[in-house]
Structure 1
Amino acid sequence: MPDTTAGLFLGQSEKPEILLWQRANRHGVIAGATGTGKTVTLQILAQGFSDAGVPVFCADVKGDLSGISQVGAPNEKLIARAEGMGLTLEPKAAPTVFWDLYGQKGHPVRATVSEIGPLLMARMLDLNEVQEGVLTVAFHVADKEGLLLLDLDDLRSMLVYVSENAARIGREVGNVAPSSIASIQRALLQLEQDGGDAFFGEPALRLTDMMRTSLDGRGQVNVLDSTRLMNSPRLYGAFLLWLMSELFEQLPEIGDPEKPKLVFFFDEAHLLFKDAPKPLLEKVEQVVRLIRSKGVGVYFITQNPADIPDSVLAQLGNRIQHALRAYTPSDQRGLKAASQSFRVNPAFDTAEAIQALGTGEALVSTLDEKGAPNIVQRTLIRPPNSRLGPATDAERAAVMAASPVSGVYDTAIDRESAEEVLAARRAAIEAEAEPSKPARAPTREQTREQAPAPRERAAPRPAPAPRKSTRQTPMEALTKSVLRTAGSTITRELLRGILGGLKKR
């Protein structure tokens, strides 16, 4: 029987291959083509850590990993393999809690929009650099004005608020283009139609509920059902990165513990790095590099190690490589990169050995007590103690009913947040503006009703008297002319007499 007090027994080469507990937080990678046994290796590692009292989180992409919750029923082939390693199989199930972002095949997993942040939200929405900048402005304004962003409705209301106040906000933090806001709103609608709105809200996930141990001292195995989530690869990758980031931010610094506090398995890891912008890659590298000092080991599962950036791959000390097929030039480059990442074993050619591996075989290289990689060994992977294959719906339901978080996350909570606050503000503004609004023009019916009754006609006025003519007859004109002439002559004679008398004196 292999000695498992110092570490986790992986399988048999020329010697037992052991993953040391004290080096398990130095991260690792499980790689190999489809159908070569990666999921079984993941199941063995998850249950091995659980038996050692270490909680585990892993994503179940195909549904096969759910069998870890059920007691194994090994066939003759598996029993014979175990006996060849000197291993006695102990069929048993691991203490399992099922999770599901959509709340269908596990307890709901939720996070608030504020916790996700603009960087990961932009990744989920597939925004360009300009649109990401506008989204960052929306988060900034929400923080500044004390508005809680809990779900997608809150974020949508916040974008409308930013659009309505674009002039003021633009003077403070930069221009906000209406076209960018419209693009973000369309992306939110697409995310909502894909079912992503179920992930945002409350009660938000508490990491302590994932880091439990059972009454018998075994670590809880958290299985995230990802069969539907894989249809939204950006949401899948962003969620797992958020979870790693939360672990990094919340857990205390402990250095290198005797055993990890948590082991995190990231299946289909290439989805995290595919088309990822540089800031996101830098965040992944930072988290992977520093989270080991928090006692967390991160293990990436992918088809080819070449899918993982070199800056991240260089930090993965424990490596399990299943078979690869080199049919294309791209496959050949991946095979070369995979073979060169191991410490050479003079007994065989690493590249040729990777192609010749059968199902259930792998090249294994773990870290020794000093932290240096061991020479790569061709290894027969051990059988698991739990069931190979998925759990039935009835078995899954029974596990969920008995889980320690049953009823904690199953019902969503909708408390007052940005959407309600902004709606109340808008209603108050409209109420204040109501008295100052001009009266509406009356309708035609109202005009008819309000018109005064017609007055009775007054009696007709009498016809005016005929005006006298001002024209003069010829006789009247001659008489007036003679009188004017005579008057003028008399007047002149009188003036002369008066003046002449004055001169004589």
Structure 2
Amino acid sequence: MSKREQFIAAIQKSYKTDKPAIHLGSAILDGEIITEAKVNLPLRMMNRHGLVAGATGSGKTRTLQVLAEQLSAAGVPVFMSDIKGDLSGIAKPGSSNAAIEERSAILGTPFEAKGFPVELYSLSGEKGAQMRATILEFGPILLSKIFELNDTQSGVLAILFKYADDKKLPMVDLNDLKKVLSYLSEGPGAAEIKSDYGSISSSTAGTILRKIVALEQQGVGTIFGEKSFDISDLINKVDGQGVISLLNISDVQDKPALFSTFMLSLLAELYQTLPEAGDLDKPKLVFFLDEAHLLFKDAPKAFMDQIEQVVRLIRSKGVGIFFCTQMAQDIPVSVLAQLGNRVQHVLRAFTPQDADALKQTVKTYPRSDFYSIDQVLTTLGIGQALITVLNDKGIPTEVAATHLLPPASVMGPLTQADYENHVRQSDVYLKYKDPIDPESAYEILTKRLEEKARQEAEVKEQTTVAKGNAKQEKGMFEEALASPLAKQIGREVVRGVFGMLFGKSTSRSKKGGLFGF
């Protein structure tokens, strides 16, 4: 048996499945694209998570598009971030051209132009349906990541949340957070928390306040508030197809800590909300995290612990997570170990650091009898990737350099007019369009302070009135004493008193002096 025949047999055996699967393309050997060497990813293994990596311009975005399209067609909802705003074309059927026809012919899969159900979301509310979360839903760990706080400042933020929880003060938006911070650092609450929670220094409170104000000035403070995003809106179908939810972050891409942390908050909520599902034939939802390295950059330990927990346990809820980044080394080892499906586009080795990264990436792949992994990784073309996934029995497949299928939808953004029309016609857009301002910590503490100020004013007024009455009575008394009548009465009283004292003495004086001698 020739090497080619051995390769075809190995690929067909490794990737063969009678379960629903995503067809990624056909394997390549020695530069030849072998049509019959089909590379598939079983749907039931999608909740074992995955990695899509590769250099800029290698075709990662189109790979994500192909994965999203086939998941949607299989009835699996998808959520993905749209970093550059160029994935909205998934909503419209693509069009064929010579390159696409050639690729389809080689792969033995006819091109069928097709659009898919898409919902467009935005953190600012300018590019789609407004995604919001309350301050309480975010929690102190994720907020600390957004504000880039140190350990001490993060501890103070935790105190604010503990106090708000103990005192039934719902923190919904940034105004609530600022009010609780002010109340506990320099308001009446400062003395209240000293024994149970500890004091909050003015310098730490000032730092946190400046971080909050900076976020507001950047125009993205609107992500905190009501109406809070309902996570069930991500798990929808239209005509049997899974809805592809796109979070357009082109207007906040200069705030990576914000959008990456917000996406993690959605994952955390999915984990807390969804019931246990066990092993399903296909996942309930697949979550794509593009530019995943931003999620882990300068992440504190508490934040990393939360990521690891979610990635490790959310599989049992029927949710798959795919990280998309340039190099596998962008993902922490503890997370990378949880990713059973790998799609690696071309890697560049222009610098010593690149060469080291290449060596590390090679070590993450199973041994191959057909490839020199390091050589393949640096010679892949655009739209090609080195793939290994878990088969439907959970066993890692043969490594396969793969010529990938082209997307069936538009490979680019919708026109501005089509985009705006798509947003306006969305029921989800209308659902979250108008913010709600419920009674929360800000209003409760404001009323409390106003009531305290009113009571203090009443006490002060009563004290002032009492002093005024006393002064008035004293003045009236002094005035009465100074009157002619009072003086006359006074003389008569004095005369009468002295008359009582000296009446006998006067009679005695007549007899012989003052003492009767």
* Interval containing the TM-score (normalised by the shorter chain): 0.7 to 0.9
Contact 2:292 2:331 in 1 (8 A): yes
Q: 1:402 aligns with which of 425, 439, 463?
A: 425
* Structure-2 residue corresponding to 1:284: 307
- The aligned runs of 1:59-138 (5 Å cut-off) are 59-138=81-160
Offset at 1:66? 1.2
Q: 1:32 aligns with which of 46, 54, 76?
A: 54
Percent identity reads 43
How far apart, CA to CA, are the structure 1 residues paired with 2:18 and 2:406? 15
TM-score, normalised with respect to structure 2: 0.83
Deviations 1:325-371 (A, max 9, x none): 01122211211121111112221211111110111111011111221
Q: 1:425 aligns with which of 435, 448, 451?
A: 448
SS in 2 for 1:413: coil
Deviations 1:365-421 (A, max 9, x none): 111122111111110010010001111111112222333413100111111111111
SS in 2 for 1:154: helix
State whether structure 2 residue 20 is matched by structure 1 residue 9. Answer: no
CA 1:99–1:186: 2 relative to 1, 3 Å: same
Which piece of structure 1 moves more, 326-335 or 129-138?
A: 326-335
How far apart, CA to CA, are the structure 2 residues paired with 1:135 and 1:320? 39
Offset at 1:63? 1.4
How far apart, CA to CA, are the structure 1 residues paired with 2:218 and 2:329? 30
How far apart, CA to CA, are the structure 2 residues paired with 1:228 and 1:401? 18
Amino acid at match of 1:199: I
* Structure-2 residue corresponding to 1:191: 215
Which piece of structure 1 moves more, 89-98 or 325-334?
A: 325-334
* Structure-2 residue corresponding to 1:386: 409
Offset at 1:433? 1.1
Which piece of structure 1 moves more, 19-28 or 399-408?
A: 399-408
Offset at 1:436? 3.2
* Structure-2 residue corresponding to 1:173: 197
- The aligned runs of 1:9-408 (5 Å cut-off) are 9-13=23-27, 14=34, 15-163=37-185, 164=187, 165-214=189-238, 216-408=239-431
Deviations 1:176-221 (A, max 9, x none): 222111110011011111223110001101011111000x200000
SS in 1 for 2:229: coil
CA 1:152–1:246: 2 relative to 1, 3 Å: same
Contact 1:306 1:338 in 2 (8 A): yes
Contact 1:342 1:375 in 2 (8 A): no
Deviations 1:464-484 (A, max 9, x none): xxxxxxxxxxxxxxxxxxxxx
CA 1:72–1:3: 2 relative to 1, 3 Å: farther
Aligned Cα root-mean-square deviation (Å): 1.5
Contact 2:347 2:377 in 1 (8 A): yes
SS in 2 for 1:8: strand
Offset at 1:161? 0.9
Contact 2:78 2:242 in 1 (8 A): yes
How far apart, CA to CA, are the structure 2 residues paired with 1:358 and 1:381? 10
How far apart, CA to CA, are the structure 1 residues paired with 2:17 and 2:264? 35
Amino acid at match of 1:198: T
How far apart, CA to CA, are the structure 2 residues paired with 1:419 and 1:55? 38
Amino acid at match of 2:103: R
Deviations 1:480-505 (A, max 9, x none): xxxxxxxxxxxxxxxxxxxxxxxxxx
Offset at 1:4? 8.9
Offset at 1:439? 5.8
SS in 2 for 1:236: helix
Contact 1:8 1:20 in 2 (8 A): yes
Offset at 1:113? 0.2
Structure 1: gaps (5+ residues): 441-505
Deviations 1:17-69 (A, max 9, x none): 10101111100000001000000000000111000000000000011211111
Deviations 1:87-145 (A, max 9, x none): 11111111000000001111000000000000101111011111111111111111111
Contact 2:19 2:392 in 1 (8 A): no
Offset at 1:83? 1.3
Please say which structure displays the higher CA radius of gyration.
1
Offset at 1:6? 2.3
Deviations 1:287-314 (A, max 9, x none): 1011011000000000000000111001
Offset at 1:175? 2.8
* Structure-1 residue corresponding to 2:480: none
How far apart, CA to CA, are the structure 2 residues paired with 1:404 and 1:282? 37
Q: Give the number of equivalent residue pairs.
A: 438
How far apart, CA to CA, are the structure 2 residues paired with 1:142 and 1:352? 57
Contact 2:100 2:111 in 1 (8 A): no
Contact 2:19 2:42 in 1 (8 A): no
* Structure-1 residue corresponding to 2:515: none
